[in-house]
Amino acid sequence: MASLEKGGWIRAESPDSADVIIVNSCAFINAAKQESLNAVLSHRKAYPGKKIILAGCLAQRYGTRLEKSLPEADLLLNTEELERVINVLGTSSGREKGKRPLLSPPGSAYVKISEGCSNWCTFCAIPLIKGELQSRTIPDIVAECLGLLDRGIHEICLVGQDVASFGMDREGGELYQLLMTLLKIQRKFWIRLLYIHPDHFPYNILKLFQKDPRLVPYFDLPFQHSARNILNEMNRHGNANTYLKLLEDIRGALPNAIIRSTFLVGFPGETEADFRSLLRFQQNAELDWMGCFCYSREEGTLSYKMNRQVAKRVAAERQSILENHQVPITEKHLNHFIGHTIDVLVEESLSRVLYLGRIFAQAPEVDGATVIHSNNPLVPGTVVQGTVYTRLGFDLQVSVNN
């Protein structure tokens, strides 16, 4: 989008007023592929005369095949070509300089610190699409973060397929150095890490969290499973005991730590006994937040050819059992916030006295929200202090002390 703006293109508010429609696609599981294809098909139907570009991971993964089978897209642009979009479309008269448009809710931005992944989990198509891990340099990331802070961003979410691997494609892990460098910036902000592979959790970062509250103690550790045999087949090397020990260590070092995890059910060979052991792990782990996905059989991955594929119906049942079991655990944990005064990032105004926002325990888009009551006007993108007075479902209700 920045390249396009640089070339004089202007972002349309809706496809109705656009000259070109770009569908930036996802392709790592079937549901995502279908959603991306549907976006192309529905836009072609609605806008028969407009140019439609299918960009991103779906084009990367199935480019040659789609060239023949998807005439509804005028052009495919794979992930390596995204920045060349301007060469394809040409420049247009208009503005001169473009900078990264901010698409997240006010006050928050994602900063990608690496691309690709070298963990090669046997169910995952991401290394096939994105390739091996490629870390950005620390100065490059810091420059982007400084630019975002200058534009009023309060929360920087450092993202990567596995941020614990940051720098492993060079001398060795550099996450600690990256965080140290970012914390030298003398401003008020939050840094949130998104996705740490639990098999190589970088323990040295915990002391940075203890020293500096700008690193929000929120850890997203996608365990995927807890049964040793299943994890082994997934090319992951933990088990229920090592993962419980990790949680104990994090919570020991940071008593207010919030932990989110993701489970994958229906992996080939997952038996009832394996699933029951996952349920036991869920009870013992007492996660604050949990997401659960059904296995998607992806061609090209090692698990594609594994025997004993689990029926989709069984996987869906297991997913719903895990999700139901999580509800009281998450609610109990959220209740701990009631009565506490806490910083809230304001994201949206709902009315003159009602706003939506998030506290550190709520990552953007995936966790619950915080409803803010304030008699004075609040500005989205800023941080206010409020007292939590109740919980509604997975949302907290806060009144601002003004």
CA distances from 288 to 182, 217, 302, 322 (A): 27, 12, 32, 14
Q: Report phi then psi at 396, rounded to 5.
A: -100, 150
Min dist CB 37 to ligand SF4, Å, is 22
C-beta closer to ligand SF4: residue 124 or 258: 124
5, 155, 162, 347: which one contacts ligand SF4 (CB under 6 A)?
162
CB 95 within 8 A of CB 5: yes
238 belongs to the binding site for ligand SF4 (CB under 6 A): no
- Residues making up the chain, counted from first to last: 402
Provide, rounded to whole angstroms, the least separation between the CB of residue 121 and ligand SF4: 3
Smallest gap, in angstroms, from Cβ of residue 352 to ligand SF4? Answer: 44
> 340-378: buried (b, 16+ CB within 10 Å) or exposed (e) per residue?
eebbbbbbebeeeeebbbbbbbbbbeebbbbbbebeeeb
How do 370-373 and 395-400 pair as beta strands? parallel
What minimum distance in Å lies between the beta carbon of 291 and ligand SF4?
Answer: 13
Q: Which of residues 338-377 bind ligand SF4 (CB under 6 A)?
A: none
127 counts as binding ligand SF4 under rule CB under 6 A: yes
Residue from 22, 55, 86, 117 touching ligand SF4 (CB under 6 A): that is 117
Choosing from 120, 143, 177, 213, the residue that interacts with ligand SF4 (CB under 6 A) is 120
Q: Does 261 bind ligand SF4 (CB under 6 A)?
A: no
Our finding on whether 124 is near ligand SF4 (CB under 6 A) is: yes
Residue closer to ligand SF4, measured from CB, 153 or 234: 234
Q: How far apart are CA 142 and CA 139, in angstroms?
A: 5
Structure tokens at 190: 């939050």
Tell me how far the alpha carbon of residue 206 is from its chain's centroid.
Answer: 21
Dihedral angle sign, alpha carbons of residues 99, 104, 105, 108: negative
Q: Does residue 197 bind ligand SF4 (CB under 6 A)?
A: yes
Considering only residues 135, 161, 239, 303, which one is a binding residue for ligand SF4 as defined by CB under 6 A?
161
Quick check: 164 binds ligand SF4 (CB under 6 A)?
Answer: no
Binding residues for ligand SF4, rule: CB under 6 A, are: 117, 119-121, 124, 126-127, 161-162, 197
